Structure 1
């Protein structure tokens, strides 16, 4: 199998690290061993931290179309590899690649402002007050639920399906399945609706039925917009990213293993 990373000799690696002490210490160790290259001229980006830092790295450098190899130095590391400073070049040469497509989210606020963000994990709508949200759910222009009363709802990618989506009792989706998960959060009415698995090209539109009495916010990964009245979500074909994993612990296997945890 051809390596997904084209390494020059010597390899040009751009190291980025979260501000936590363990990641900063690891950064200094790796810089002394492999040097530092600016991301704009690198072969690969090596991210040191947890999943939150990995997501911010993907957003920050998506336009460069570089593969990203993460090493876990945070509290959660589903998208990361084990941290080992030795043999990094060999690991990069033998790494396996998982391609992630982001969700494109557009939100319209009560004040008439429009915001657009990408999400590699999920887009989630949440109630802002003690009162449950009232939402209308439309797919490709057709209303499927006239009223969903809930704490919120989310749309998850396959890579994000094991995160917040799974905690909300949503399905785990295999990579490359070309589907997304639509999962309610604490649904009150209809009580028996537990969500849906949709084609990835489905246009999901969520309308807030009572934005003044029951305000709602939306979050795309780490980007939050408050007081929204309508949110549109669909899978995008641009800003795809390539995540690199050690062959013995690739992302496909991790997602599969999550379905057999007892």
Structure 2
């Protein structure tokens, strides 16, 4: 079986779990496809005696992450949920499942701890796991890539399409003033928001920025998306849950060009052309092991039911 490994080489503390994972896979005759960006952390590594390529029969050096993923059966992501969001842009609709090893903070999607890697690999090799299919949302609008501005391309000639596993976000540069956003649902006015920002989230993203902004937790697999204002000027403005087959049209009511748009943390300037948000044709697959359930993850990560008095006793 071929395993791609994706991680952020600049994150501290990566080397130990990376070497442990490769050693575990090496000992089970698994092929590891490693992007060049991670090879600097491979000193030493299992199966390597004198740093020669010939001594790494189960370790394939790939030019980049896309090459690593393209020949793999499973993608092993070492990091936090941010690293999984990064990986989602590379694996969406490839039907290659992701196993997340959490070296970040909460880790709702990267739910395996470093000390559990060996047990997780054993379960997967035994076929003892399930696939958790996570849907995405698409945003499309007319606009020019920042690096193409000034080259004669008209904004109306270029349609930009982005797919988000967590959320699409609209906000203002610097967050020093409110942003005005008009939202239409299937052609009908939903609301005109005056807020610090506006989040359109998937069920997967409901435990991310949406949760911090007071939005609801939505169980993955539920066919909805959530419209959540960030610190709205009107206190009665609340998050709204809408069907996944809805068509949202977002219009930025800001003539000064200070509005920003982000999908899964990747930000860019945005003009006043309407943004259409719909269900994406893309998805990702997360590996869920037998002992894992969504609500168990919520209880552990959010410390539901934890009595602090018990810790003091």
TM-score by length of 2: 0.72
Extract unaligned runs of 5+ from structure 1: 1-10
Secondary structure in 2 matching 1:175: coil
Say if 2:232 is the partner of 1:202: no
Pair 252,231 (structure 1): closer, same or farther in 2 beyond 3 Å: farther
Alpha-carbon deviation of 1:127? 1.7
Determine which of 258, 276, 282 is the counterpart of 1:215. 258
**Which structure's CA Rg is the greater one?**
2
Find the aligned partners of 1:18 and 1:33 in 2 and give their Cα distance.
20
Q: Which residues of 2 match residues 1-262 of structure 1 at below 5 A?
A: 11-19=1-9, 20-35=11-26, 36-37=32-33, 38-80=68-110, 81-83=112-114, 84-92=116-124, 93-109=127-143, 112=155, 114-129=159-174, 130-145=176-191, 147-189=192-234, 191-212=235-256, 215-229=258-272, 230-236=274-280, 238-251=281-294, 253-255=296-298, 261=304
| Larger RCO: 1 or 2 (CA < 8 Å, sep 6+) | 1
Alpha-carbon deviation of 1:175? 1.6
Q: CA RMSD in A?
A: 2.3
- Residues 187-234 of structure 1 show CA distances to partners (whole Å, capped at 9, x for unaligned) of 114x3110210001111111112331x732111102212133232211
Bigger shift: 163-172 or 221-230? Answer: 221-230
Alpha-carbon deviation of 1:260? 8.4
Native 8 Å contact 2:165 2:202 kept in 1: yes
Pair 164,16 (structure 1): closer, same or farther in 2 beyond 3 Å: same
Extract unaligned runs of 5+ from structure 2: 27-31, 34-67, 145-153, 306-313
Alpha-carbon deviation of 1:105? 0.9
Partner of 2:43: none
Kindly tell me the number of residue pairs found equivalent between the two proteins.
248
Native 8 Å contact 2:168 2:264 kept in 1: yes
Find the aligned partners of 2:69 and 2:253 in 1 and give their Cα distance.
45
Find the aligned partners of 2:236 and 2:207 in 1 and give their Cα distance.
22
Native 8 Å contact 1:100 1:243 kept in 2: yes
Bigger shift: 246-255 or 19-28? Answer: 246-255
Alpha-carbon deviation of 1:114? 4.1
Native 8 Å contact 2:108 2:301 kept in 1: no
Q: Which has the higher helix share?
A: 2
Native 8 Å contact 2:106 2:301 kept in 1: no
Find the aligned partners of 1:141 and 1:259 in 2 and give their Cα distance.
37
Native 8 Å contact 2:206 2:217 kept in 1: yes
TM-score by length of 1: 0.85
- Residues 225-257 of structure 1 show CA distances to partners (whole Å, capped at 9, x for unaligned) of 213323221111x22111012222233543577
